[in-house]
Structure 1
Amino acid sequence: MQASTESSPVHSRRTSTTRNGPSVKWFMLFWVLMIGLSVYAVYSYTNHLKDQVLGQLSQQSQQQLNLLKADYEAKITVLSSDVQELQSTVQSFNELLTFTKDNASAKTDNSNKLYTQLSEVRKQLDTLKKEMDLLK
């Protein structure tokens, strides 16, 4: 009887370990799969958020560039019209100066006044040209 009683606890231990063996393996496999899926989900979500943020930043940058471009073009248009006005003024002063030189006598000081006015207009024209160069 001793042989039968001794074999019986060994047999019961083997059956309990064999019953627990596959369930532990499935349990571990389940958790490894869950952890793997969780890591993949976090990675995918992070990439999705990164793409969204980059898209929004790109859109905002494009809007700001469009605003700057419109502002720049408006300033260029205003400065171009100012330069054209000054050029026409300089041209008319040149014509007056030429006419005055032709008709001036030694007693009149009108040519000096015209030269002074012409130099002031040229200074303004140079200032506007510098501003246009800075905007370019």
Structure 2
Amino acid sequence: MSTPIEANANPPVASARSAKSAKSVKTSKKSYLIFFFSWFLLIATGVLGTMLYTEHLKTRLSEQLASQTEAQLQAMQAQYQQQLDQLKASVTTDIANLQTKVDSFNELLAFTKDSANTKTDNSNQLYTQLAEVKKKLDELKQNLDVLK
């Protein structure tokens, strides 16, 4: 009798062990699945975070670059406008100086033209008066020489 009891006692222990090992295999498969899923989730989150941060940095950098470029363009435009204003003032001054030279040259040409003519007008009146005074002076000298 002791033998059949032992025979009956061993099979439930073996089946309990096999059930325990089957249960532990199922739990270990679940553990591995949860472990790998957690690692996959961590890696995916890291990659996604990196991509979002990189995009944020690109946007921020492009905004800074655009603002710097705009500031430099405004500075260059102000400098260009200043140089253009200086050039306008210089050209205006040069044109005014040239105009006065042209006017004086025109007066000289008019005086020369009037001097070449026998007829005089009001603009050359002083020159003609001096010429007349010189003629009268010459006549007076001749009359004085005759009297001597």
Structure-1-length-normalised TM-score: 0.70
In 1: Cα distance, 2:11 partner to 2:70 partner: 88
Which of structure 1's runs of 4+ aligned residues deviate more than 2 A? 1-13
> Larger Rg: 1 or 2?
2
Which residue identity lines up with residue 56 of structure 1 in the other structure? Q
24-33 or 7-16, which moves further after superposition? 7-16
Alignment of 1:3-14 (within 5 A): 3-4=11-12, 6-14=14-22
1:53 aligns with 2:61: yes
In 2: Cα distance, 1:43 partner to 1:17 partner: 38
Percent sequence identity over matched residues? 24
Q: Which has the higher contact order (CA 8 A, sep 6+)?
A: 1
Alignment of 1:83-122 (within 5 A): 83-104=91-112
Question: Aligned residue pairs: how many?
Answer: 106
CA-based RMSD of the aligned residues comes to 1.9
1:64 aligns with 2:67: no
1:23 aligns with 2:31: yes
Number of the residue aligned with 1:77: 85
In 1: Cα distance, 2:45 partner to 2:16 partner: 44
Which residue identity lines up with residue 20 of structure 1 in the other structure? S
After superposition, the C-alpha distances for 1:70-91 in whole angstroms (9 at most, x for unaligned) are: 1110110011011011111111
After superposition, the C-alpha distances for 1:10-55 in whole angstroms (9 at most, x for unaligned) are: 3332111012111211111111111111111000011111111111
In 2: Cα distance, 1:89 partner to 1:20 partner: 102
Alignment of 1:32-51 (within 5 A): 32-51=40-59
Which residue identity lines up with residue 35 of structure 2 in the other structure? F
| Structure 1, unpaired ranges of 5+ | 107-136
